[in-house]
Amino acid sequence: MVRGAGRKDFNVPVIVVEELCRYLTRINAASDAASTLRRGEVDCEAFSCRLRLVIVVVGGSDMSTSNAEFVPTKILFVGAGAIGASVAAWVAANNDGVYVYDIGEVLAVIKSNGITTYQTDAPDTTCKTVHVQTIDRPGDLPDVDVVVLAVKNYSLSAVARQVREQLGDRPVIVSMANGTDNQTILPKLFSKVIYCVVCYNAKRDSPGIVSYTRKGPLLLGTPDNTLPSELRRVQALLASGCLTETVSDLQDAVHTKIVINLTNALDALVGRGSVPLSNSDVYQRLLANTLWEGAKIIRAAGYREHRIAGMPSFNMLHLVTFLPLWMFRSAFERANKAIIMTSMTQDVVLHGARDTELESLTGYMIRLAEKVGVAAPYNHTIYRLGRERFHSGYQAMRCEEVQAEVDRAIEANKH
């Protein structure tokens, strides 16, 4: 029996008791861990909060003592951008065993000041600073249980090799990258990989300071629905900080998110979030057609829509492409507020980066379109303009200019 302070006692499976005994012995928390357990006098609240007992049911969220597991005691976030820093801070607020690794100024600022997060529409009441443990290299944490790779696909290969070289194949790897490239890169290096579809928007104001629209959700899964135990443990840990769910249709969720992420390249072209839109009606039409093309492409490829809370449905995207704009303006404005500034806009407009997710998102989609035979003039045009223009010193285009380029492409395809 395990006694929780202020909670009803409950029975715990033998495997959990054995694991708890091993844990107590390893950390020397009791001179006679076995007898402590036999007496049934384990007080959950007395232990370090790195040890948390989480009761989960396979495939659901109902509570049950038949499937009890320990949340991993140590989790390392590699990359402290907007997403990595925000999730690390949320989880660290309720767990001691959270570590962050980055480089240069980012790491120095977090070492000194911690991570500050705040909700965009309520900064005064939601602003919170959490001091998170940091390390100078992944190898400084050899007994880490979970490594969250919070880096984009264009950096993933190099970062993943560094983690493999220093930590081996011991930890569970969680990738937060958009797109599908991570499903090719990571299985070559690790045997236990979980993929995380991030369904909220965040912006890094400066190193260690992040604004966000909402806390989650995060969708966790594997391509073949393997690693059920690891999935439950990682879900329990991340859910201590923000809404986190497991999904059985990972590829549908990934491809639905790619459709939504087609916003990124368009927004970077017109600078949305960094400069005022030149014409909101033209932008609304551009966005709806770009995303609806994506929806048609993934459907033709055999993927289904995975409904994501707060995101427009594919049916709505279709309606916006041909019905009067005023009918959807309020819904469009609400959805627009859910995105502070896309990560690609931050990369291109704010940081002058040449490396972006253009290839892994819009590029992937147009290659899939060619494979399944679906016309995609909006995405083809946006992809071409992005390849031509995304570089240091880039100046945002007017929405009307982008639409004119699309119209020329459509006209050219008629001949």
Could you give the domains of the chain?
A: 2-70 (no CATH), 75-248 (3.40.50.720), 256-414 (1.10.1040.10)
Tens digits of residue pLDDT in 380-402: 999 999 999 888 778 899 999 99
Strand partners of residue 70: 53
Tens digits of residue pLDDT in 33-67: 444 444 444 434 333 333 443 333 333 333 333 33
Tens digits of residue pLDDT in 274-319: 888 999 899 999 999 999 999 999 999 999 999 988 788 899 888 8
Sheet holding 75-78, edge to edge: 133-134, 98-101, 75-78, 146-149, 172-175, 193-198, 218-221, 244-246
HSE of 201, CA atoms in CB hemisphere, 13 A: 25
Nearest residue to 269 (alpha-carbon basis) of 332, 183, 362: 362
Helices (H) and strands (E) in the chain, counts: 17, 16
CA 23 to each of CA 42, 105, 146, 314, 324: distance values in angstroms, whole numbers, following the listed order: 13, 36, 17, 48, 63
pTM of the predicted structure, to 2 decimals: 0.82
Rg over alpha carbons for the chain, rounded to the nearest Å, is 23
Nearest residue to 217 (alpha-carbon basis) of 199, 241, 235, 237: 199
In whole angstroms, give the CA distance from residue 128 to residue 214: 14
Q: How far is CA 172 from the centre of its chain?
A: 16
Per DSSP bridges, beta strands 133-134 and 244-246 are: unpaired
Tens digits of residue pLDDT in 344-355: 887 777 666 667
User: Quick check: 286 and 406 in contact, CB under 8 A?
Assistant: yes
In whole angstroms, give the CA distance from residue 240 to residue 89: 11
Tens digits of residue pLDDT in 175-224: 999 999 999 999 999 999 999 999 999 999 999 999 999 999 999 999 99
In whole angstroms, give the CA distance from residue 391 to residue 55: 49
